[in-house]
């Protein structure tokens, strides 16, 4: 019997990945570890601990969700193949020099990130989009009815809005700035003006992310004086990359999502935002609260008429997990443009994308009225994901690359 060693941390979808490997005939030995360990001594101890587990276990390979440098070090020392599947963005760990170890097979959901690493001389990265567990979602939603209250769903952990909305968005507004970036928020001079202008320029632009490129040496020096981003040792990302992806991308995303939810809340349409953030400063907004990923979100995706995807700006070209989940639940997906969509799906056949906020509002109104067309697109998207984009498909693709 083939065996996999799976150092795991709390990540969305990992249960689906484990099930897919088991369906392929593998025994999966999970071993909980921290996603990151900043303390160098503890990190070295963890690597040594993992080497012992790997050698003693007689495994065929090691697998993790996201690339973890400490696991890469352990696998190189053990001379065993290390497969990882990156679904997070930003994921600074993929810029660690350990990503280039010859024992690695690093699968990344964002093609643009793959290109960036390949240009840096890395030949161990492969593009692989995320997926949906359609069988699980089918089982979860098989008894749903159009008028069913979400209060009747399996998980009782939250108090939610009693009806399924016509339009919904499940996700964060990123309204809280991380403490390390607070000084940038408080600046009133040239730097603040430049960054505000850059954020406004990127806002509403889909398919091209120019945040990193627009950070000149002068501006980066200003930012370093205001809130220093430590340069990581043995890593390939630039300071500009860190500021662009961990600060500016989230600021742009926050403003974009805020503008969308405010517009839809004032439009008279039945729109609900599902988030655990405090939105009392938007009195017209209906906040449905936090949705459990496994037990509650699938029902909203399945029953709602229009499900929005508003991608985090640090996802340069990739298809977010949310989009696959919506289509895998049989929901109608209305998304911003992401280039990787066009490799796998046909716009207006499997999903619909909007090109501006005005276009988003117009398309929500159109597809609420044109029910048959909306249902046909949702069905097509569901069939496409079911037949080509499940976790079982992805596991087979990874195995083909690593062992062909």
Other beta carbons less than 10 A from residue 241's beta carbon:
20
Look at residue 158 in the predicted model and tell me its pLDDT.
42
Residue 216 sits in the same domain as residue 285: no
**Secondary structure element (H or E) that encloses residue 396, with its range:** helix 391-403
Residue 50 sits in the same domain as residue 101: yes
Domain boundary among 202, 222, 246: 246
DSSP string, 279-305: -TT-TT--B-----TTTTHHHHHHH-S
As a whole number of angstroms, the distance between CA 82 and CA 60 comes to 10
Residue 109 sits in the same domain as residue 165: no
pLDDT-flagged residues of the chain (< 50) = 147-162
- The tally of CA atoms less than 13 A away on the side-chain side of residue 159 is 0
- Considering just the CA atoms, what is the radius of gyration of the chain in Å? 22
Look at residue 147 in the predicted model and tell me its pLDDT.
44
Residue 126 sits in the same domain as residue 139: no
CATH code for position 353: 3.40.50.2000
Residue 156 sits in the same domain as residue 267: yes
Look at residue 38 in the predicted model and tell me its pLDDT.
64
255 contacts 203 by C-beta, under 8 angstroms: yes
Residue 122 sits in the same domain as residue 139: no
352 contacts 360 by C-beta, under 8 angstroms: no
Instruction: Round the average pLDDT of the chain to a whole number and report it.
Output: 92
Residue 81 sits in the same domain as residue 38: yes
Tell me the two tokens of residue 81.
């193949």
Q: Name the packing angle between helices 217-226 and 190-202 (round to 10°).
A: 110
pLDDT digits (tens, 9 = 90+) for 211-249: 999 999 999 999 999 888 887 888 999 999 999 999 999
Residue 142 sits in the same domain as residue 119: no
Look at residue 39 in the predicted model and tell me its pLDDT.
59
Residue 18 sits in the same domain as residue 126: yes
Residue 146 sits in the same domain as residue 272: yes
Residue 100 sits in the same domain as residue 153: no
Look at residue 36 in the predicted model and tell me its pLDDT.
74
Look at residue 37 in the predicted model and tell me its pLDDT.
66
The total of structural domains in the chain comes to 3
- Give the pTM: 0.93
Q: Which domain holds residue 319?
A: 134-174+255-388
Residue 159 sits in the same domain as residue 210: no
Tell me the two tokens of residue 54.
């790997």
């Amino acid at each position: 019997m083939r065996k996999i060693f799976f150092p795991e941390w709390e990540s969305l979808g990992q249960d689906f990945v484990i099930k897919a490997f088991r369906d392929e005939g593998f025994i999966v030995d999970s071993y909980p570890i921290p996603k990151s360990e900043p303390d160098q001594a503890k990190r070295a101890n963890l690597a040594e601990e993992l080497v012992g587990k790997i050698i003693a276990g007689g495994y065929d390979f090691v697998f993790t969700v996201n690339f973890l440098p400490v696991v890469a070090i352990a696998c190189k020392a053990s001379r065993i193949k290390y497969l990882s599947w990156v679904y997070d963005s930003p994921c600074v760990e993929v810029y660690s020099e350990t990503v280039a170890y010859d024992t690695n097979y690093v699968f990344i959901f964002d093609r643009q990130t793959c290109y960036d690493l390949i240009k840096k001389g890395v030949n161990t990265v492969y593009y692989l989009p995320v997926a949906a567990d359609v069988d699980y979602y089918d089982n979860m939603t098989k008894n749903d009815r159009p008028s069913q209250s979400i209060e009747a769903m399996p998980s009782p952990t939250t108090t939610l809005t009693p009806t399924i909305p016509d339009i919904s968005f499940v996700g964060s507004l990123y309204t809280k700035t991380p403490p390390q970036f607070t000084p940038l928020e408080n600046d009133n001079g040239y730097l603040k003006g430049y960054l505000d202008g850059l954020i406004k320029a990127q806002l509403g632009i889909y398919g091209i992310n120019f945040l990193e490129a627009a950070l000149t040496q002068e501006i980066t020096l200003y930012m370093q004086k205001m809130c220093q981003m430590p340069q990581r040792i043995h890593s390939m990302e630039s300071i500009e990359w860190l500021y662009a992806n961990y600060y500016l991308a989230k600021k742009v995303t926050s403003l974009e999502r805020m503008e969308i939810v405010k517009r839809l809340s004032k439009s008279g349409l039945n729109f609900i935002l599902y988030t655990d953030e405090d939105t009392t400063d938007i009195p017209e907004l209906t906040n449905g609260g936090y949705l459990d990923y496994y037990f509650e979100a699938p029902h909203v995706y399945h029953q709602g008429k229009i499900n929005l995807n508003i991608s985090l700006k640090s996802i340069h070209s990739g298809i977010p997990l949310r989009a696959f989940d919506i289509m895998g639940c049989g929901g109608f997906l209305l998304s911003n443009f992401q280039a990787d969509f066009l490799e796998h799906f046909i716009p207006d056949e499997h999903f619909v994308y909007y090109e501006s906020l005005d276009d988003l509002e117009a398309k929500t109104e159109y597809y609420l009225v044109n029910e048959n067309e909306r249902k046909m697109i949702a069905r097509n998207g569901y069939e496409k994901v079911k037949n080509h984009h499940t976790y079982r498909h992805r596991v087979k693709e990874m195995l083909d690359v690593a062992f062909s």
